[in-house]
């Protein structure tokens, strides 16, 4: 994880209060103070009396001081999840000098996080460092820590992007982490949010990377079945766009169709109906073409279902109910889940609407 270069800050309250000064290499000792404080706290937090005394004798002795910010914009909550800089072994480059490693395993970080929250620490952190604790926990793929921060009030729909131009949902998608995608959405994160650093929606990002489980979760939770990709992007896939191989996207396209996508428009497909000649052919045949890709040698059966056959009544009913719920209510998934938990919605019907099984 990299810090912005050339970022100059005034002396923080920690450095001022403890008379700490940056050394000739520009290292801020307040950052080491944060690290050492947490490392020592790890040895004491199971004993309430030792913990209380430790805080009272530190710069974080009350609610007003627990959220103090270091010269580089870090809080204790940040450092607990982020960790400390790796030993660069003399490498003064940005990558060698500004990489971070966690101080301890996730379960210990969670226990310390709970202690900090009880003492008034904010789960939000701050945006000065351009990476809030929630961003960091998701990048570490610490799902339990992510849940703890969300339950404490961390915002899953942060308006600002981190230093990698990503929001929490973008990070979960890039990590191929369907569990965190579900978790963020449960706490209110949008599935159709602002496009990521690659100018892709979460659904398009999962499609491009071939993350099927994430793609499936996004659609089940109500993401619009629209990719809005440039035709040059489709061309880069070639025939694999409709193939079933390991790099193929046929099952992705099938999922989009199941969730109501207009496959013909989305992938620039065209249908050619060839009428029977009454001699060798007695039924009409269909040929298909795609504007950016040659698909003449692919099995036409996969396109017939998407473009030439009407959806069944059950499929239409399911899509109609889903569209109503996801358009009428701000969070259709939560509405459905609440109804299910209140026993107002049959579990079998709920699973059907959410594409968990057939009915």
Give this prediction's pTM.
0.83
CB distance 202 to 194 below 8 Å: no
In percent, the amount of the chain with pLDDT more than 70 equals 85
CATH 1.25.40.20 region(s) of the chain?
Answer: 155-221
Helix, strand, coil percentages for the chain (3-state, nearest 5): 45, 5, 50
Q: How many Cβ atoms sit within 10 Å of the Cβ of residue 117? A: 18
As beta bridge partners, residue 290 has: 269, 293
| CATH superfamily to which 155-221 belongs | Ankyrin repeat-containing domain (1.25.40.20)
CB distance 270 to 289 below 8 Å: yes
pLDDT for res 344: 74
CA-nearest of 44, 144, 141 to 102 is 141
Q: Which pairing describes strands 285-290 and 269-274: parallel, antiparallel, or unpaired? A: antiparallel
As beta bridge partners, residue 202 has: none
Q: Which pairing describes strands 285-290 and 84-85: parallel, antiparallel, or unpaired? A: unpaired
In which element (H, E) is residue 271 found?
Answer: strand 269-274
Which residues in the chain show pLDDT less than 50? 1-9, 24, 88-98
pLDDT for res 218: 95
Q: What is the pLDDT of residues 12-25, one digit of tens each?
A: 777 776 665 555 45
Cα–Cα distance measured from residue 275 to residue 309, given in angstroms and rounded to the nearest whole number: 17
Please report, for residues 133, 177, 210, 310, the alpha-carbon distance to residue 147 in angstroms, rounded to integers and kept in the order given: 12, 14, 26, 42
pLDDT for res 93: 41
């Amino acid at each position: 994880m990299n810090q912005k270069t050339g970022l100059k800050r005034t002396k923080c309250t920690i450095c001022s209060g403890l008379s700490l000064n940056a050394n000739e290499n520009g290292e801020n000792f307040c950052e080491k103070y944060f690290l050492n404080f947490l490392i020592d706290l790890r040895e004491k937090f199971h004993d309430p009396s030792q913990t209380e005394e430790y805080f009272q004798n530190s710069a974080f002795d009350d609610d007003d001081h627990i959220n103090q910010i270091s010269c580089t914009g870090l809080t204790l909550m940040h450092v607990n999840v982020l960790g400390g800089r790796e030993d660069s072994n003399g490498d003064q480059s940005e990558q060698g000098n500004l990489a971070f490693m966690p101080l301890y395993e996730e379960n210990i970080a969670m226990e310390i996080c709970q202690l900090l929250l009880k003492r008034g620490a904010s789960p939000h952190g701050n945006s000065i460092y351009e990476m809030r604790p929630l961003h960091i926990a998701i990048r570490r793929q610490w799902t339990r820590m992510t849940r703890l921060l969300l339950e404490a009030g961390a915002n899953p729909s942060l308006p600002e992007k981190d230093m990698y131009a990503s929001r929490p949902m973008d990070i979960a998608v890039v990590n191929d982490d369907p569990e965190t995608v579900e978790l963020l959405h449960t706490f209110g994160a949008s599935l159709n949010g602002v496009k990521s650093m690659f100018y892709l929606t979460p659904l398009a990002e999962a499609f491009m990377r071939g993350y099927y489980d994430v793609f499936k979760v996004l659609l089940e939770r109500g993401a619009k079945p629209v990719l809005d990709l440039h035709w040059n992007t489709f061309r880069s896939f070639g025939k694999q766009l409709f193939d079933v191989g390991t790099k193929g996207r046929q099952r992705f396209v099938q999922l989009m169709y199941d969730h109501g996508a207009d496959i013909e428009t989305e992938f620039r497909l065209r249908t050619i109906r060839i009428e029977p000649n009454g001699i060798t052919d007695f039924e009409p045949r269909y040929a298909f073409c795609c504007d950016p890709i040659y698909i003449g040698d692919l099995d036409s059966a996969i396109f017939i279902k998407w473009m030439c056959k009407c959806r069944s009544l059950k499929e239409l009913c399911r899509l109609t109910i889903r569209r109503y719920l996801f358009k009428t209510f701000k969070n259709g998934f939560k509405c459905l889940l609440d109804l299910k938990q209140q026993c107002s919605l049959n579990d079998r019907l709920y699973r059907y609407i959410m594409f968990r099984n057939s009915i």
